Structure 1
Amino acid sequence: MMASVQDFEQAVRDRDEEIARLRAEVEAWRRRFDKGGKRDIAFVNSEREVEPLYTALDTQPDVEVPGAFPFTRGIHPTGYRGKLWTMRQFAGFGTARETNERYKFLLSQGQTGLSVAFDFPTLMGYDSDHPRSEGEVGKCGVAISSLADMEELFAGIPLGQVSTSMTINGPAIILFCFYCAAAEKQGVPLEQIQGTVQNDILKEYMAQHAWCFPIEPALRLIVDMFEWCATHTPKWNTISISGYHIREAGATAAQELAFTLADGFTYVERGIARGLDVDDFAPRLSFFWDIHNDFFEEVAKLRAARRIWARHMKERYGARDPRSWVMRFHSQTAGVTLTAQQPMNNIVRVAYQALAAVLGGTQSLHTNSMDETLALPTEHSVEVALRTQQVLAYETGVPNVIDPLGGSYYVEALTDQLEREAEDLFRQIDEIGGVVPGLETGWLQRKINESAARQQWEIEQHRKVIVGVNDFVSDEQELQIPLLRIGQEAEEEQRAKMAAMRAGRDDALVRQRLDRLREAARGSDNVVPFILDCARAYCTLYEIRAALESVFGAYREPVFF
């Protein structure tokens, strides 16, 4: 016994001596380094200075393995050796017919999941023939105004086999019901459909501004989906809590991490307040992250996100099912980093961002096309973006090792630092009363605006180099690349189709279903079955939105400075 105590004491002395030796070596290295010159740029990532060297002194020793709590190293024990990430390309333009052709092309080229981009009228809950839709139909995505459009969008695509992600928020519950009704038309049982509807309304008030209803009724609709889908569509992800748009609006990596997770915690709290067991709905929550240019920061952000979510779900919200601790997420390369100048450079940016997403352990990935900053992507540029993922998956060897940057002094230190910064922002959000008061007072919006202004100043002052924009600018004529333009033909086609659909439906049934929806909205019933009945009767997107708006009212953004 005495020998073992002496051995332990000697081991402690040896460890302390090793730490002291390492600290002395690092300090000596720093003294030598400081005598040398430095490049005339700021060594920072999105908001903090980066040290020139990281060692074991900067990390906390922690033995973790993939697939085990708190999932820093990934949610699957086999990583990509068991299954590659889902390769999605965000696609949608013109009419449902045109986009259906693009989907079939992408699937034929090896894409493994579909991701729907809707046009602006659809995002805002307006039909293609509504006066406010004029000039915008099909321009930035596909126009979907009723079940008839959704049927055409997925004609010939088996909804029981394909996984579909839909980027829609304010009217998300309506588009989801259109999708369910379309699956029924194909004869697919609802319990078999797989996919995600973004449905993250809090980030709309914070960053993107595509809303329909005031905050509280909008949150009710989301919890209605949690409740209904847990029973009827158990393979469907009811929400994709999105940091992407928060980051695109100008947030830092730490703000994206904290504000997104705070939104997620708010949704969990609303579900629990409804009386739902957290383990009944939390396993179907998913996330959506922006993958920016600072390579190591993005890897660390994804690792920190998994760890924070797991700990809060288990320790703060009392989730018992390990599936509730697991953060599943989709990633997309950063649209805001694409440049109109020297657009071929965007292929390189996207490739590095995709590598960061994979090294961070994403389960699903969209790679932007080089021309997306100029127009909707062409078929050729979409194919190049998809091939970028396939080269990464099949040629680089990167998927062969799980979390290959785990143990890197820098990545581990940065993971810890981002977690600390996120926790500090959580405390600030709690001090102002939570996410909803933070939105109502403009606190969250101001934080993002201040960060965006600082980033723009750094670019203008050449403290941050954007290749081809504020440095390495070419005097030669820019390469002209073909662009996809959507003309007025899409709007004309949509109007004609809607007129035919309205003429052929049962108007008495439409009125009856909308009346029942309004009645349900006035009470406390779950509205999903009533919206689904409206979809089946070919009520239009705006008709359903207007029925809900007559009860809930419309959202008006508060004025803040």
Structure 2
Amino acid sequence: MTENSNANSANNLDEIAKEKKKWEETTVKKSLERVPERKRSFKTLSDLEVKPLYTPNDIKDLSYLRDLGFPGEYPYTRGAQPTSYRAKFWTMRQFAGLGNADETNKRFKYLIENGQTGLSVAFHLPTIYGYESCSPMSAGEVGKEGVAIDTLSDMETLFDGIDLGKISTSMTINGPASILFCMYLATGEKKGVPMAKLTGTIQNDIFKEYQAQKSYIFPPEPSVRLIVDTIEYCTKNVPRWNTISISGYHIREAGSTAVQELAFTLGNGLAYVEAGIKRGLNVDDFAPRLSFFFNAHNNFFEEVAKYRAARRIWAKHMKNDYNAKDPRSLRLRFHTQTAGVSLTAQEPYNNIIRVTLQALASVMGGTQSLHTNSFDEALALPSEDAVRMALRTQQIIAHESGVADVIDPLAGSYFVESLTNKMEEETERYFDKIKEMGKGSMLEGTFVGIKNNFYQREIANASYQFQQELEAKEQVQVGVNKFKFSGEEGLQPEILKISEEVGEQQVKDLEKLKQSRDEEKAQQCLAKVKEIAQTKENLIPYILDAVKAYCSVGEIIGILKSVFGVYKEESIF
């Protein structure tokens, strides 16, 4: 056997297997007699076995052209873009929202001044759930975990002095997504930026709300109707806008494994594709503007494999199941956020290291956009110092580490390729279960799985298992269940606090706006939204009219509730 022999020839693989066995029985055996392996089970966070060593035999069926290909080409395993970060770094998009629109506007400008290249809006809980700031349900929550946005007036303040024609904006909103999107369109119009030039993403993914995050409002079917309305409207009028960010992030934050995050997220994405086709849309007209949002957790190689598998799985199913022909429909693009659930309140400065490793995995996995969490987020909304440090983490990775110089640098690793294959295999098993529930349909299977608590139960079981492992110290959290620091000095940074006066002022401003607006016009617009909601006509133009009449998020949601109803989940406990 010469050195130039085919590395994947049967004879060579047999010889490698033979030599590996010899190595295990001699070299390894002697080593273990002197120094035994650590007493733990070696596995990923998805409970996938990690072998001590990987060889060509672990990827003997891998075909380079079929399974990997080249970056920017089917099946996109090696990257969505041909030149990756050699041409352009990922978008550095720090999530921000605090207090009122004016305070968040100042934070946006601070981040832009420090080199951020994209905006990402965090809304406060009342807006997320569709309540006005003056609602009794909003008491004590106004501006506390995001920015308070009630009307178009707030949105105008939020982006005051920011050129929406030059910066991309992402908005993390779901149940009321169509309303906040319309507010952004109206704000752009007032600034002289036509819809066709606006760029950004609206999260708009309701399936994961029922499955994990629980900030739903309406039942699943009318919620999906609103999503498809948005997709249809943007396809015709806002061509550069990503109409939905199909989000695994929140599924992972709820306690899922990496495999569950991958399977449920891509399954939800395929369900939305079916919903669009069912509406009568051509798949290649809307699929290029679907985007994804993944978590970046602690197990470095599992996360890299997850992103690589995601691209390949999406490309295969879009091509084979939905007959997509436009390469952009097959190309999965995604944003990543480091794992909030991994951050600890104990020794919070340790979170800087966690976030750095998670961000590095995101970059080496080929993300298009990245948010790095601030080290103090387990304690409060991030301070300016903390959010600057988070942004600097990305900038140092981009400009000082060299990892962005090579496209898909871990490709060809026996371990990484084997793990990528395993992630794909496990995802396909979940797909089979979902399709079985839907009698062949991913969309119907998703509806069924939500209503019978399939997803909720799977995530809850994974979360429970992980918690048991933490308590048994099978999983280590440094500074929490091992290597605890007994001192206090220097451990707790100063944290950001939102004054109650913010909420009081927000309520006063909302009441003042309602008194000054054209009330007759506002009521007419609300009545029209109610009328159209009872038909199959696209709601977006009518919501846009209501927004321009300064109707509030809470008022429009209230009208839609009267038609669609509200969703109540049956508990699984």
Matches within 5 A, 1:289-304: 289-304=294-309
Aligned residue runs from structure 1 range 20-35, under 5 A: 20-32=14-26, 33=28
The separation in 1 between residues aligned to 2:6 and 2:324, in whole angstroms, is: 38
The question of whether the paired residues in 2 share the 8 Å contact of 1:230 and 1:280 is answered with: yes
User: Is this contact kept in 1: 2:8–2:56, CA < 8 A?
Assistant: no
CA distance in 2, matches of 1:366, 1:13: 40
Which residue of the other structure, out of 213, 216, 220, is the alignment partner of 2:221?
A: 216
> Would the aligned equivalents of 2:347 and 2:492 in 1 still touch at CA under 8 Å?
no
In 2, the alpha carbon distance for the partners of 1:423 and 1:198 equals 25
Q: Which amino acid aligns with 1:363?
A: Q
5 Å-filtered alignment, 1:364-403, equals: 364-403=369-408
Question: SS in structure 2 opposite 1:240?
Answer: strand
Q: Give 2:446's aligned amino acid.
A: V
- Does structure 1 residue 308 correspond to structure 2 residue 313? yes
Determine helix, strand or coil for the equivalent of 1:222.
helix
Q: Which residue of 2 aligns with 1:493?
A: 505
Asked if 1:351 corresponds to 2:356, the answer is: yes
Structure 2 CA distance for partners of 1:256 and 1:161, relative to 1, 3 Å: same
CA distance in 1 between counterparts of 2:333 and 2:23 reads: 41
Name the residue aligned to 2:52. 52
Q: Render the CA deviation track for 1:345-396: whole Å, top value 9, x for unaligned.
A: 0000000000000000000000000000100000000000000000000011
Distance in 2 of aligned mates of 1:156 and 1:266: 39
Q: Which of residues 228, 235, 239 is equivalent to 1:234? A: 239
- The AA in structure 1 aligned to 2:447 is V
1:547 aligns with 2:559: yes
Distance in 2, matches of 1:72 and 1:27, equals: 32
CA displacement 1:374-427 (0-9 Å, x = unmatched): 000000000000000000000111111100001111000000000000001111
Query: Residues 42 and 464 of structure 1 are in contact (CA less than 8 Å); yes or no, is this contact kept in structure 2?
Result: no
The amino acid of 1:448's aligned partner reads I
Residues 477 and 539 of structure 1, relative CA distance in 2, 3 Å threshold: same
| Offset, 1:20 | 1.1
Q: CA deviation at 1:430?
A: 1.5
Map 1:150-161 to 2 at 5 A: 150-161=155-166
Match of 1:166, SS state, is: strand
Q: Does 1:96 align with 2:101?
A: yes
1:14 deviates by 9.7
Name the SS for the 1:259 alignment partner: helix
Moved more, 230-239 or 428-437: 428-437
Q: Partner letter of residue 87 of structure 2? A: G
Q: Quick one: distance in 2 between partners of 1:29 and 1:441?
A: 51
Matches within 5 A, 1:225-304: 225-304=230-309
Residue of structure 2 equivalent to 1:466: 477
1:481 matched to 2:497? The reply is no
How far apart, in 1, do the equivalents of 2:175 and 2:241 lie? 18
Q: Which residue in the other structure is 1:523 paired with? A: 535
Residue 504 of structure 2 aligns to which amino acid in structure 1?
E
The offset of 1:13, in angstroms, is 12
SS at match of 1:330: strand
One-letter amino acid of the structure 2 residue matched with residue 546 of structure 1? G
**Residue 62 (structure 1) aligned with residue 86 (structure 2):** no
Give yes or no for contact 2:277–2:283 (8 Å, CA) kept in 1.
Answer: yes
Could you say what secondary structure the match of 2:37 adopts? coil
Residue 513 of structure 1: aligned partner: 525
Residue aligning to 2:468: 457
Matching residue of 2:442: none
SS in 1 for 2:95: strand
Secondary structure at the counterpart of residue 374 of structure 2: coil
2:13 to 8, 19, 23: 19
CA contact (8 A) 1:441 1:560 kept: no
The structure 2 residue matched to 1:503, chosen from 512, 515, 522, is 515
CA distance in 2, matches of 1:466, 1:215: 37
Deviations 1:451-477 (A, max 9, x none): 000000000001011100000111111
Measured after TM superposition, the shift of residue 487 of structure 1 is 1.5
Give the aligned residue type for 1:183.
Answer: G
Q: CA deviation at 1:15?
A: 2.5
Q: Which one of the candidate residues 77, 88, 91 is aligned to 1:86? A: 91
Change in CA separation of 1:14 and 1:185 when aligned onto 2, cut-off 3 Å: closer
What is the Cα deviation at residue 34 of structure 1? 5.2
- Per the alignment, in what secondary structure is the counterpart of residue 534 of structure 1? helix
C-alpha distance in 2 between matches for 1:152 and 1:139: 18
The secondary structure found in structure 2 opposite 1:289 is strand
Distance 1:14 1:279, change over 3 A: closer
Whichever residue aligns with residue 23 of structure 2, its letter is: W
Q: Secondary structure at the match of 2:142?
A: coil
Deviations 1:496-518 (A, max 9, x none): 11111111100000110011111
Distance 1:545 1:219 in 2: 15
Q: What is the alpha-carbon root mean square deviation over aligned residues?
A: 1.3
Q: Which residue of 1 aligns with 2:547?
A: 535
TM-score normalised by structure 2 residue count:
0.95
User: Does the 8 A contact of 1:331 with 1:366 survive in 2?
Assistant: yes
- 1:337 maps to amino acid: S
Looking at structure 2, the residues matched to 17 and 103 of structure 1 have their Cα atoms a distance apart, in angstroms, of 60
Q: Which amino acid aligns with 1:443?
A: F
Letter aligned with residue 19 of structure 2: E
* Number of the residue aligned with 2:448: 437
Distance in 2 separating the partners of 1:558 and 1:271: 28
* Contact 2:201–2:242, Cα closer than 8 Å, also in 1: yes
Q: How far 1:16 sits from its partner (Å)?
A: 2.5
Residue identity in the other structure for 2:362 = A
Structure 2 unaligned segments of length 5 or more: list them.
439-444
Distance 2:421 2:8 in 1: 26
**In 2: Cα distance, 1:462 partner to 1:30 partner:** 29
Letter in 2 for 1:540: S
Contact 1:41 1:464 in 2 (8 A): no
Supply the distance in 1 between the matched residues of 2:39 and 2:245 (Cα, whole angstroms): 41
Tell me the equivalent position of 1:5: none
| 2:135 alignment counterpart | 130
In the alignment, does 2:201 pair up with 1:196? yes
User: 1: CA distance between counterparts of 2:395 and 2:381?
Assistant: 22
2:11 partner amino acid: E
User: In the alignment, is the contact (CA less than 8 A) between 2:348 and 2:492 conserved in 1?
Assistant: no
- Amino acid of the residue matched to residue 260 of structure 1? T
CA change 1:150–1:12 in 2 (3 A) is: closer
SS at match of 1:381: helix
Residue aligning to 2:441: none
Letter in 1 for 2:465: R
TM-score when normalising by structure 1:
0.97
Once residues 419 and 255 of structure 1 are traced to their aligned partners in structure 2, the CA distance between those partners, rounded to angstroms, is 11
Q: Distance in 2 between matches of 1:262 and 1:13?
A: 36
2-side partners of 1:358 and 1:430: how far apart? 32
Deviation at 1:197, TM superposition (A): 0.5
What amino acid sits opposite 1:38 in the alignment? E
Q: Deviations over 1:167-200 (max 9, x none)?
A: 0011111110111111111111011110000000
The residue identity in structure 2 corresponding to 1:18 is N
Q: Deviations 1:93-128 (Å, cap 9, x if unpaired)?
A: 000000000000000000000000011101101111
Find the counterpart in structure 2 of residue 6 from structure 1: none
Supply the AA of the counterpart residue of 1:292. H
Q: Which amino acid aligns with 1:398?
A: V
Per-residue deviation, residues 275-325 of structure 1 (Å, max 9, x unmatched): 110011100000000000000000000000000000100111001111100
**C-alpha separation in 2, matches of 1:315 and 1:471:** 48
